[in-house]
Amino acid sequence: MADVAQIPGVAEQVKLVAGLRWQMLRNGIRRKNNRWDLIGMIWVSIFGGLMVIGVSVGFFAGTVAFYRNGRPGWVALLFWAIFLWWQVFPIFEAGFGAQFEFRSLLRFPMSQRAFYLLGLGYGFADFGAVAAMFWLAAMLLATLTTRPDLLGAMLGVSLLFVLVNVTLERLLGSWVEKLLAKRRTREIFIALFVLSMVSLNFLNPLITSPLLQKYGKPRFSEWASYFSWTPGSLAGSVVGGVAKADLHAAALGAAGLLCWLVGLSALLWQRFAAQYRGEQLSESAAPVAAAKRERRKVSSGGLPSFLPSAVAGVMVKEFRYLTRNGFAFLSLIVPPVMVVFFMLQFGGKNSALKSHGLSADLFFPAMMAYLILILLSPAYNSFAYEGKGIQSYFMAPVSFRDVLLGKNLFLLSLVLFELALAIGLLIWRMGWPTAPRFLGTVMAAVFSVLGQLAIANWSSLSFPKKMELGKLKGQRNSGMAVWTAFAAQILLGGICAVILFAGQWTSNPWLPTIAFVGLTAAALAGYWASLRAMDGLAEQKKELLIETLCR
Amino acid sequence: MSDIAIATQQLTRTFGSLTAVEGIDLRVQAGQFFGFLGPNGAGKSTTIKMLTGLLAPTSGRMELLGLDFQSHLVEVKRQIGVVPEGMGLFDRLTGREYLQFVGRMYGLDRATTEKRADELLEFMQLADREKTLVADYSHGMQKKLALAAAVIHGPRILFLDEPFEGVDALAAGALKALLGRMTERGVTIFLTSHVLEIVERLCSHVAIIHQGRLVAQGSLEELRAGIPSVEGEKKTLEQIFLSIVGQSGGEQSRLEELTWLT
C-alpha cells in the first residue's frame, strides 16, 4: 500500500505547480550561460511593459472617444482587437518558445477537474493574457471616468469576455500543441509564418497598385455585420444596448457570450479529458503495415561522377537536407521575392522614389550585394544542422577539405541559380545594365563569394553552433560567427563597392572588370590554399565540433 | 600482416584536472571478440572515442592493424567501422540515403553501395522503413541502422559502443549471429556493454577499466583464474566484474535502510 495519505486539494496543487515553475526559472538562471538570458529577459520585460502601458493608454483614449461621440457600441472594435491579440499571440509564442510540459503533471495523483482548472489557470499566466487584461482594465477605467452608469455592464461583459478568451485560447493552444508535436506540421507552421511575414511586404505595393485604385478599396464596414455573432461584437452590443436602454439587444449579447463560454468550456473539457486519459502527442516509430516489397530501384541521388566520391556524397547529402529543411528552402525563395519587391518599390517608373527610380546600372550591383549577403550567411556555420552526424565525418576516411569542398560547391550551385533567377527578373522588369557594369558586378560577385567561402569555412570549424530543423527559437549562429560574417561582408563588400565606383570616378567603365579579374584569381588561389589548411583545423576543433553539435 | 589488431601504449586522456583515462595498455588480437567493461564513468566511451579518432589522446600511442593511428589516420579509418555513443546518424536522411552517404564516404562505388545497402536493410529488418527519415526511427531502429552503416565497407575492426541497448530480442539475436560470423571471418570486434551476460556469451576476451585505469585484461578463463573461488565453482563474468571493481556489499546494506519501501 502506498503511503499517500490524502491527495492535495486543487488550491494546494496550483500552489505546488506555481512553486515548481518558480524553482525552474530560478535554477535556470543559476547556470552561468543563462545569466545573459536573464538580462535579456529583463530587457524584454521592460519593453513589453512599456508596450502594454502604451497600448493601455490607447484603449483608454479609444473608449473615452466612443463614449463622448455617443457611440458606446463601438467599443466592440476594442474588444475585437483584444480578442485577436489574445488568440493569435500565444499561438506564435507556442510555435517558437519552449513550453512547460503541462501534461507531465499527469503522472501525479490529480483529478480531471483539478487538471482542467490548472490548465485554465495557466491561460491567465501568459504574457498575452496579462496584457489583454491590462487593456480591459484601461477600458473599465475609461468607463468609470466617462460613463459610470455603464460600469456594471462593462464589468460583467469584461468578466465573460475574459473567460471566453482564456477558454478559447487554451482550446486553440491544446490543438496547436497537438499539431506542433509532429515534425512535419511544425515545419509547415514555420514555413507559413515566414511566408506570411514576407508577404506583408507586398501590402504597400498592393494598396498603391493601379488595379486596386481602379476597382476601389474594400469597404471593411460592410464586412463587420457578418461578424456580429463573434465575442468582440457581442460584448460591444451589450455595452451599446445598456447605453441605449435597449435591454433586448443587451440580453441577446450577454446570452451570446454565455453560449460561447459554455460551448468552448465543453470542448476544452473534452480536449483536456483526452490529455488526461494519456493522449500520445509525440511522433513515434510505431510499426506500420509492411509496405509492399517492391524492389524498385531507389534513386541514389544522381551523384556527380566526375567529383571525388566523398565530395559528391556530401553534395547529395546537402541537397537532401535542403529539401527537408522548410526554413532553408524558404530562404531560397525569399531572396528573389524580395528582389521583386525592391524592384516594385524602387525601380522603374512606379518607384516609391517618385521620379528618381533606380536605374538597372545602380540596381544590379545593389541586388547582387543583397543576394550574396543573404545566401552566404549560412556558410559561416555550415555544420549547424549536422547534429550527431558530425561524427560520421570524423569516423570516415575522408579529409575535411573534401567535406568543406562538397558543402561549398553545393552552396555555389544554389547561389548561381539564385543569381541567374534574379538577373532574369531584373532584365524582365528593368532591362539590361550596361555591359561594363554587368561584367564588373559579376566578377565582383565571384571575388566576394570566393573570399567569403574561405573565411566562412574557418568560421564553421571554429565557431560551430547547433541548430535544429523545425524550430525557430534559439536558431541563430554563435556571436563570433555573426561578427566574422559581418566583418568579412563589410570588408569584401567595401572593396567591391570602392572598385565599382572607381570606374565611375575615373571615367573608365572597364576598370572594375579588369581589377576584379586579378582579384578573383587571387581569391581563388587563396580559397584553394585555405582549403588545404582545413584538415588540420578540423582535427584541432574536433572535440569542440562534436561536443557542440552532438549535444 | 600484424596479428595485433589494437595496441595502445600509455594511452591517456585528461579533461582539465580530470583524468578520464590513465596510461592504458591494451592488446587485442586480430579476430578476437573483445569486451571492454567498466562501471559508469570509468572511461569506456573515452577510450573507444580515442581508438576511433573521435577524440585526441592527451598522451600515449595507438596502433591499429599495425599502423600508427596519428600518422595513418585515413588508412586506419578505412579499415574500421564504428557505432559510436549517440550513433552519429544524420537524422534528416532516410535509412537508405544514410547508407548511400556512408558508402560514398568510404569510397565504395555506386553499384556496390546500392547492393550492400539493400542487403543490410533487409538483414536489419529495416527494408520496410527505408524511406522513413532517421529522425522518425525508434531508438532500436537507429541502432540497427548505425550498425549497418558501420559494416557497409567491410571493416577489419568493428567498434561497438553499447550495440544492444534498445534493440529488441529478435534483432539482437540476428545481430549476435552477424557479429559471430564476422569474427569467424577474422574481423576484430571491440565492444562495450553493460549487459554482462551478453559479453560473457559473445566475447572471448575482456578488459575491465575502472576509474580510468585498466584493472584486468585477458581471456575469460584467465580472469577467472585471477580471482579467489571455491574449487569447482565457475564464476560468472558478473561475479568477476564485481570482484575486480570492488563491490563490497555496500549496496545491500544501503538497501536495508530503505525499510519503508517494502
pLDDT for position A359:
80
For chain A positions 346-365, those within 8 Å of chain B (CB to CB) are none
Taking residues B4-28, what's their average pLDDT? 93
Q: Which of B91, B92, B105 sits opposite A396 (nearest CB)?
A: B105
Tell me the Ramachandran region of residue B15: left when phi exceeds 0, alpha when psi lies from -120 to 50, beta otherwise: beta
Q: Which residues of B are less than 8 Å from A293 in CB distance?
A: 127-128
Range among A332-336, A349-353, B4-8, B106-110 rated most confident: B4-8
Pick from A5, A301, A89: nearest CA to B110: A301
Which residue's entry shows cell 555513443? B85
Alpha helices in A277-349 (DSSP H): 309-323, 326-346
Pick from A160, A88, A92, A162: nearest CA to A121: A162
Task: Give Cα A267 to chain centroid, integer Å.
Answer: 29
B90:A539 CB<8 A: no
B110:A391 CB<8 A: no
For chain A positions 215-244, those within 8 Å of chain B (CB to CB) are none
- Chain A interface mutation, best of B52, B70, B91, B96, highest count of A Cβ atoms under 10 Å: B91
**Alpha carbon distance B140, B129 (integer Å):** 13
**Residue A446 neighbours by CB under 8 Å, 6+ apart:** A516, A520, A523
Tell me the backbone φ, ψ of residue B241, rounded to 5 degrees. -60, -50
If 0-12 CB within 10 Å is exposed, 13-18 middle and 19+ buried, where does residue A305 land?
Answer: exposed
User: For the whole model, what pTM was predicted?
Assistant: 0.69
Q: Which residue has the higher pLDDT, B165 or A213?
A: B165
B105:A324 CB<8 A: no
ipTM of the complex: 0.76
Taking residues B146-162, what's their average pLDDT? 93
Q: Could you tell me if A294 lies within 8 Å of chain B, comparing CB atoms?
A: no
pLDDT for position A98:
45
Q: Could you tell me if B75 lies within 8 Å of chain A, comparing CB atoms?
A: yes
Closest residue of chain A to B77, computed from CA coordinates: A397
Residue B81 near residue B51 (C-beta atoms within 8 A): no
**Alpha carbon distance A546, A371 (integer Å):** 31
pLDDT for position B7:
95
**Alpha carbon distance A457, B42 (integer Å):** 36
B101:A399 CB<8 A: no
A301:B97 CB<8 A: yes
Q: Could you tell me if B31 lies within 8 Å of chain A, comparing CB atoms?
A: no
- Chain A interface mutation, best of B72, B79, B90, highest count of A Cβ atoms under 10 Å: B90
Cell digits of residue B23: 596510461
Residue B159 near residue B77 (C-beta atoms within 8 A): no
Cell digits of residue A226: 457578418
Partnered with residue B189 across adjacent β-strands are B33, B158
Judged by average pLDDT, the poorest of A289-293, B70-74, B151-155 is: A289-293
- Chain A interface mutation, best of B83, B89, B93, B100, highest count of A Cβ atoms under 10 Å: B100
**Alpha carbon distance A67, B53 (integer Å):** 76
Q: Which of A300, A469, A543 sits opposite B92 (nearest CB)?
A: A469
* Single-letter residue type at B151: V
Q: Which residue has the higher pLDDT, B88 or A45?
A: B88
Cell digits of residue A79: 474588444
pLDDT for position A1:
47
Judged by average pLDDT, the poorest of A254-268, B110-124, B165-179 is: B165-179
* Ordered mean pLDDT values, 10 residues apiece, chain A (551 residues): 58 72 65 60 83 94 93 91 89 56 66 82 83 95 93 94 94 82 73 74 68 60 75 92 90 94 95 78 50 49 72 91 77 80 69 64 87 89 90 91 94 91 85 89 93 94 82 66 89 91 85 91 93 90 88 74
pLDDT for position A97:
47
Strands (E), A385-516: none
**Alpha carbon distance A277, A271 (integer Å):** 10
Q: What angle do CA A494, A497, A500 make, to 5 degrees?
A: 150
Q: Could you tell me if A184 lies within 8 Å of chain B, comparing CB atoms?
A: no
Strands (E), B1-94: 4-15, 18-24, 27-29, 33-37, 59-64, 67-68, 80-83
- A186/chain B closest Cα distance in angstroms: 14
Residue B35 near residue B207 (C-beta atoms within 8 A): yes
Residue B238: pLDDT band (50, 70, 90) is confident
